[in-house]
Amino acid sequence: MERLNTIVGHVCAAVDDSQSHEPGSNSVTITDNRTGKTINVPITDGTIPATSLNKLNLVSYDPGYFNTSPAYSAITFIDGDQGILSYRGYPIEVLAERSNFLEVAYLLLFGELPTKIQFQDWREKVMQHTYLHPNLTQIMQNFRYDAHPMGMFISSIAAMGTFYPESNPALQGQGVFNNEKTRNKQIVRLIGKVATIAACSYRHRVGRPFNEPDSTLGYTENFLYMLDRLQESAYRPNPRLARALDIMFILHADHELNCSTAAMRHIGSSLTDPYTALAGAAAALYGPLHGGANEAVIRMLEEIGTVDKIPEFIEGVKNKTRKLMGFGHRVYKSYDPRAKIIRSIAYEVFSIMGDEPLIDVAVELERQARADDYFVSRNLYPNVDFFSGLIYRSMGFPTDMFPVLFAIPRTVGWLAHWMEQLSDKDAKIARPKQVYIGSPTREYIPLEKRANEIGPEVSIHSSRLTQRRAVALV
Catalytic residues: 290, 329, 385
Of 84, 78, 117, 113, the closest CA to residue 99 belongs to: 113
* CA atoms lying within 13 Å on the CB side of residue 277: 30
- Are 86 and 337 a contacting pair, CB within 8 Å? no
Which runs of E-coded beta strand occur in 16-52? 27-32, 38-42
Distance CA 376, CA 242 (A): 35
Cα–Cα separations (whole angstroms), residue 234 to 73, 135, 226, 237, 370: 44, 27, 13, 10, 47
Residues 6+ apart with CB under 8 A from 360: 307
Helix (H) or strand (E) holding 91: strand 90-91
Distance CA 448, CA 432 (A): 39
Cα–Cα separations (whole angstroms), residue 48 to 17, 62, 88, 252: 15, 15, 24, 31
* CA atoms lying within 13 Å on the CB side of residue 364: 16
Q: By CB neighbour count within 10 A (0-12 exposed, 13-18 middle, 19+ buried), where does 12 fall?
A: exposed
- Are 61 and 69 a contacting pair, CB within 8 Å? no
Distance CA 387, CA 5 (A): 40
For residues 153-170, b (16+ Cβ closer than 10 Å) or e, as one string? bbbbbbbbbeebeebbee
Helix ranges restricted to H, 305-357: 310-318, 337-353
Distance CA 15, CA 25 (A): 9
CA 179 to the chain's CA centroid = 28
Of 125, 86, 128, 84, the closest CA to residue 107 belongs to: 86
